[in-house]
Amino acid sequence: MGRQSALLLLGWLALMVRPGLSSYLTGSGFPWEGCKLSASVNRWTVTLASYSEDVVRGSRACFNFGYKPLSQCTPSGLRCCGENHLNKFKLYIDPVCNRADMFNITVNGNPTSAAFKEFMGGDLSKPTLKITNMFIPFEQINTTQLCFSLKGTANNGTCSTLASLANPFTREQGVLEIGMYDKKVDNYECCPMFIFPLSVA
């Protein structure tokens, strides 16, 4: 049974954290990288525009991107996240999920296959699935939509819903955790975190 659920993005904390430490939203440690996490330098927004869920036949999610006014960024000598290209969309996933569980990935209706499952630093406790090489320029971010489908159990899908895709650590908190990345320039990269409530446990 497909059902539509437009979920609002939970607010991220206005908290400065040091790069490479735990996510400031869930304490998961995601994304375990040296990019700038702080909400104070972020201008991006992301909303779950539509979500149809069917465990057996498969689910489909679409995310809309946007940006906040410049006045809401305190760059502290750095550039604000979102003033460069939007390059990657990364999800903190359950380690049992596979790249093959995600298909029909589109950016503004255009198909892409640039998506990969990886274990950060080869650590099996740090599974992620990233959609990359999007190269969306700043002036197009607020008109960009990213969509993907999850294979249902009828087609041997392992993770057929956003709830089953989420890592068990954040699933217990009732959220899916994602990161958005700009394109690294002068060895500086932004990767603010976002969380979305899960409709199914």
Per residue in 64-109, pLDDT (tens digit) is: 999 888 888 887 777 888 777 899 999 999 999 999 999 999 999 9
Look at residue 127 and tell me if it is in a domain: yes
d(CA 199, CA 201): 7
The reply to whether 119 falls in a domain is: yes
Question: What CATH number did the domain enclosing 47 receive?
Answer: 2.60.40
| Domains in the chain, number | 1
* pTM for the whole structure: 0.84
For residues 136 and 63, give the distance between their C-alpha atoms in angstroms, rounded to a whole number: 14
Q: Which residues contact 166 (CB under 8 A, 6 or more apart)?
A: 92, 93, 94, 175, 176, 177, 198
Domain residues for 158?
24-197
What is d(CA 48, CA 61) in angstroms, rounded to the nearest whole number?
Answer: 7
In a domain? residue 182: yes
pLDDT digits (tens, 9 = 90+) for 1-38: 444 333 333 333 222 222 323 467 898 989 888 777 67
Quick check: is 2 in a domain?
no
Residue 12 in any domain: the answer is: no
Within-domain flag for 18: no
The pLDDT score that the predictor gives to residue 19 is 31
Q: Please check whether residue 122 lies inside any domain of the structure.
A: yes
Residue 66 lies in a domain: yes
